[in-house]
Amino acid sequence: MTADIIIYHNPECGTSRNALALIRNAGIEPHVVEYLKTPPSRALLEQLIERADMNPRDLLREKGTPYAELGLDDADLGDDALVDAMMAHPVLINRPLVITSRGVKLCRPSEAVLDILPARQLGAFAKEDGEQVVDADGNRVQA
């Protein structure tokens, strides 16, 4: 299936790998953007945050980033300062961020991608840790 889907992906992240695999399990080969190598422009990042109905703080990643060293936990920091930090340190952008015709979503947990995929799952899917999220008929397994 051809669909215009973009995933801002980090191949070192299990959640990101699982979301990518779920997209492919729907028979779709997305445009994969390794955002640490090719970060979005500031204008695009701000647009994605808005389209996902988020604010910049919602997209900030704390774990394994310079979040604490940069003092990003300061509640007085405005949106511009948070976006500035993400532009200077793309690792602060949480992932995977997925764009489809049905919306933009931060897919944490990875099965959140199912909410915006334009196609059904083609078969069973289990995450890397073995958790079954799609059954053999392509239906989401409810936890």
Could you tell me the residue ranges of all domains in the chain?
A: 6-134
pLDDT of residue 110: 97
Output the pTM of the full model: 0.94
Q: Angle, to 10 degrees, between the axis of helix 42-51 and the axis of helix 79-88?
A: 120
Does 107 participate in catalysis according to the annotation?
no
Q: How many residues does the chain have?
A: 143
Strand bridging mode 97-100 / 103-106: antiparallel
How far is C-alpha 126 from the geometric centre of its chain's CA atoms?
18
* Gap between the Cα atoms of 107 and 2, Å rounded: 21
Catalytic residue among 5, 9, 10, 13: 13
Q: What is the pLDDT along the chain (143 residues), one digit of tens a residue?
A: 556 999 999 999 999 999 999 999 999 999 999 999 999 999 999 999 999 999 999 999 999 999 999 999 999 999 999 999 999 999 999 999 999 999 999 999 999 999 999 999 999 999 999 999 999 999 999 87
Distances (CA, A) of 41 to 5, 16, 38, 47, 122: 18, 20, 9, 10, 34
Please state the φ and ψ torsions of residue 36, each to the nearest 5 degrees.
Answer: -75, -30
Beta bridge partner(s), residue 134: 125, 140
pLDDT of residue 142: 84
pLDDT of residue 25: 97
CB 28 within 8 A of CB 101: no
The CATH superfamily assigned to 6-134 is: Glutaredoxin (3.40.30.10)
